[in-house]
Structure 1
Amino acid sequence: MSSSQQKRHIDLYTKEFYTACTLGGVVACGPTHSSVTPLDLVKCRLQVSPGLYKSNIQGMRDILSKEGFAKLFTGVGATFIGYSLQGAGKYGGYEYFKHFYSQTLCGGDATRIHNNRTSLYLLASATAEFIADIMLCPFEAIKVKQQTTIPSFCNNVWEGLSKTYKAEGLMSFYKGIAPLWCRQIPYTMCKFTSFERIVEYIYSKLPKKKSEMNPLQQISVSFVGGYLAGILCAAVSHPADVMVSKINNERVMGQSMMDASRAIYKRIGFVGLWNGLPVRIVMIGTLTSFQWLIYDSFKAYVGLPTSG
């Protein structure tokens, strides 16, 4: 470790600590979600129209040949902005609420915190994601609508926001908030909790203690733990992900969320809720592993301990 890295230090649970974690969430989520926009584009289109492409590769080739290379990144602007905001709320919020619940529910007692750590992870991640999704939802709505209308109903995120607001009003941006919560909250609860416990397990099997490992070794553990956690949370949240895509694309103003969900489920059935799962496992596994890699690299850079 260089002398400059040794000098960097941020005290835990200070304003600087939460600011660094929030910024780390932005850096971890915005670029990673944006980088897999072509996969997300095919996934969303297959969720809405299962017979549109025979495979993910064929879907990307079809888009490339018929619509051009730029169209593979349809929705990238809304993705970057939305998931940067969501990353800020999710990672920064998780660190805040993990400490908050440790103090309020366990009185700061180390033994009680350790014995109840899984419940604290679940509660903190659920609270953080609930708030983060309020920031994400308008941009997720625009992204899904861009990706599932052919040709896309707008050329960029700002045009999409303007068109949707003029045509349907402010509340149209939140018509998918309930299914988004249903998708993202279980996803994040699984993502953070399984990550924490998987990383804990990995460290328990290694010959060195975490404190004896260098930052690169610790970040490698985070990467492996992140990928395994990503596979689990992709499966847990996929049915709700399908419903988010379909509701944002098909629900009409005035139709209740329950009525829209019932109509969609009646048409696609239980099997239809799993359309696009293989590509989402690849996408989410990759995303989650690189998010933890970037997040923990950022934390180590600014003088914070790695996660886990």
Structure 2
Amino acid sequence: MALSDGSRGQSFVMPSFLYSTAGRSSGLEQFLFRSPRSPVPPASPSNGSTSPVAFLIQAPKEPSKKIEMYSPAFYTACTFGGILSCGLTHTAVTPLDLVKCNMQIDPAKYKNISSGFGVLLKEQGIKGFFKGWVPTLLGYSAQGACKFGFYEFFKKYYSDIAGPEYAVKYKTLIYLAGSASAEFIADVALCPFEAVKVRVQTQPGFARGLSDGLPKFVKSEGALGLYKGIVPLWGRQIPYTMMKFASFETIVELIYKKVIPTPKDQCSKPVQLTVSFAGGYIAGVFCAIVSHPADNLVSFLNNAKVMFFANRSQAVRKLGLWGLFTRGLPLRIVMIGTLTGAQWGIYDAFKVFVGLPTTGGITPAPAAAPELAQLSN
């Protein structure tokens, strides 16, 4: 298409396959869906004659199963990649999250990172570092499924609404709108697990984990209490995710344009995945700074026994403006930077595993179909 010509020379280009009329597909491993377009060998003629057409079979190197971009199989793969990406990484950094939450709730006791780990080790032992890992795993797996799956959906949806020209011109706005829409849905799935997790981690003796913590939470505060922190959670996660996706896409494009002299499609898969991790880590630093005040509010409200519609200005006054922006921030920068880099690395590694391209960067235009090439000559 016209917009794809000379795409290598442009600084920012929406992936050209968003507007390709021909279904573009990639190889798929044995466990995913079969494409309805996979060629089927024609039947032999009934008269027994040997026709060359009767012996046409699928080329040995051509994959028999495919994932087409923006097909149901594509969104299924992205959703599963999101589960792995967010569920595994958040569970792995549970000790850091545990110290961070306690520093936000009780700064007098948990003065800094080193003393925080020391207090936990003395009072709860090694097992205490992974307190609340079950609601973390389940909650962030659900969030990751919605975050990445719906992001891919909304990015395509808003690009189609804008049309090819404006999708290229306003691609950053499309990244922001798509990620915000996806996170709005993802937080509804995360919020109940987040409420139980914070209560288990910050109130000693409340519960051992999700199995006994969830019924106890509902009994004391009602089912609506599980969503007591939904507004500050949106306030934390939506800006975080908008920064996470938009900055990642932009940073990856800049890396391929300014740092790596080789076009993305000519780079090896390990190089592309390294770029994904680096872009994710840098984006994660910005994410932590933007979303940290709301993160403090989420921890405070889920720990305190306040009503669902309580005046959140009281929480701000108690934390103080300086504390709202800085309490636990250095640890959160380390945690979120590592977390976001690992998430993009895992997500893109899974996409590569199933035959899909990595996220971001300049994607070359697909080759024209033979019949279209003949018509243009």
Determine if the TM-score, normalized by the shorter chain, exceeds 0.5.
yes
Is the aligned partner of 1:149 residue 2:211?
no
- Of 57, 60, 70, which residue of structure 1 is paired with 2:127? 70
Paired letter, 2:203: T
Tell me, in whole angstroms, the C-alpha distance in 1 between the residues paired with 2:70 and 2:28. 22
Does the 8 A contact of 1:9 with 1:304 survive in 2? no
Partner of 2:224: 171
Tell me, in whole angstroms, the C-alpha distance in 1 between the residues paired with 2:289 and 2:345. 21
Q: Secondary structure of the residue that 2:118 maps to in structure 1?
A: helix
Paired letter, 1:157: L
For 1:134-169, what per-residue CA distance to the aligned partner results, in whole angstroms no more than 9, with x for missing partners?
Answer: 000000000011111023x11120211111112221
- Of 231, 246, 262, which residue of structure 1 is paired with 2:285? 231
Q: Secondary structure of the residue that 2:359 maps to in structure 1?
A: coil
Cα shift at 1:124: 0.2
TM-score by length of structure 1 reads 0.94
Tell me, in whole angstroms, the C-alpha distance in 2 between the residues paired with 1:4 and 1:165. 44
Partner of 2:40: none
How many aligned positions are there? 299
Paired letter, 2:191: C
List gaps (5 residues or longer) in structure 2.
1-26, 30-60, 361-377
Partner of 1:199: 252
Partner of 1:91: 148
Partner of 1:264: 315
Tell me, in whole angstroms, the C-alpha distance in 1 between the residues paired with 2:123 and 2:200. 17
Paired letter, 1:300: V
- Of 346, 349, 355, which residue of structure 2 is paired with 1:294? 346
Paired letter, 1:278: P
Is the aligned partner of 1:114 residue 2:168?
yes
Tell me, in whole angstroms, the C-alpha distance in 2 between the residues paired with 1:139 and 1:264. 22
Choose between structure 1 and 2: higher helix proportion: 1
For 1:28-60, what per-residue CA distance to the aligned partner results, in whole angstroms no more than 9, with x for missing partners?
Answer: 000100011111011001101112123212211
TM-score by length of structure 2 reads 0.77
Paired letter, 2:216: K
List gaps (5 residues or longer) in structure 1.
none
**Relative to structure 2, which stretch is displaced further, 296-305 or 244-253?**
244-253
**Relative to structure 2, which stretch is displaced further, 278-287 or 50-59?**
50-59
Tell me, in whole angstroms, the C-alpha distance in 2 between the residues paired with 1:165 and 1:121. 37
Q: Secondary structure of the residue that 2:146 maps to in structure 1?
A: helix
Q: Secondary structure of the residue that 1:231 maps to in structure 2?
A: helix
Partner of 1:275: 327
Cα shift at 1:250: 1.2
**How large is the RMSD of aligned CA atoms in angstroms?**
1.5
Tell me, in whole angstroms, the C-alpha distance in 2 between the residues paired with 1:264 and 1:156. 26
Q: Secondary structure of the residue that 2:68 maps to in structure 1?
A: coil
Taking a change above 3 Å as real, the CA distance of residues 51 and 17 of structure 1, as seen in their structure-2 partners, is: same
Does the 8 A contact of 1:141 with 1:248 survive in 2? yes
**Relative to structure 2, which stretch is displaced further, 61-70 or 73-82?**
61-70
Identity among equivalent positions (%) equals: 52
Cα shift at 1:216: 1.0
Tell me, in whole angstroms, the C-alpha distance in 2 between the residues paired with 1:97 and 1:297. 22
Does the 8 A contact of 1:9 with 1:302 survive in 2? no
Partner of 1:51: 108
Paired letter, 2:306: V
Partner of 2:76: 19
Q: Secondary structure of the residue that 1:10 maps to in structure 2?
A: strand
For 1:8-33, what per-residue CA distance to the aligned partner results, in whole angstroms no more than 9, with x for missing partners?
Answer: 74110000000000000000000100
Partner of 2:51: none
Tell me, in whole angstroms, the C-alpha distance in 2 between the residues paired with 1:224 and 1:167. 44
**Relative to structure 2, which stretch is displaced further, 141-150 or 14-23?**
141-150
Tell me, in whole angstroms, the C-alpha distance in 2 between the residues paired with 1:214 and 1:93. 28
Tell me, in whole angstroms, the C-alpha distance in 2 between the residues paired with 1:83 and 1:4. 26
Tell me, in whole angstroms, the C-alpha distance in 2 between the residues paired with 1:270 and 1:290. 31
- Of 242, 260, 273, which residue of structure 2 is paired with 1:219? 273
For 1:186-242, what per-residue CA distance to the aligned partner results, in whole angstroms no more than 9, with x for missing partners?
Answer: 000000000000001001112110011111111110010000000000000000000
Cα shift at 1:62: 1.9
Tell me, in whole angstroms, the C-alpha distance in 1 between the residues paired with 2:294 and 2:154. 25
Paired letter, 1:17: F
Cα shift at 1:251: 4.1
Partner of 1:130: 184
User: Post-superposition, which runs of at least 4 consecutive aligned residues in structure 1 deviate over 6 A?
Assistant: 3-6
Look at both structures and tell me which one has the larger radius of gyration over its CA atoms. Answer: 2
**Relative to structure 2, which stretch is displaced further, 264-273 or 286-295?**
264-273
Paired letter, 1:45: N
Paired letter, 1:187: Y
Tell me, in whole angstroms, the C-alpha distance in 2 between the residues paired with 1:4 and 1:91. 19
Is the aligned partner of 1:185 residue 2:238?
yes
Does the 8 A contact of 1:183 with 1:238 survive in 2? yes
Tell me, in whole angstroms, the C-alpha distance in 1 between the residues paired with 2:253 and 2:224. 42
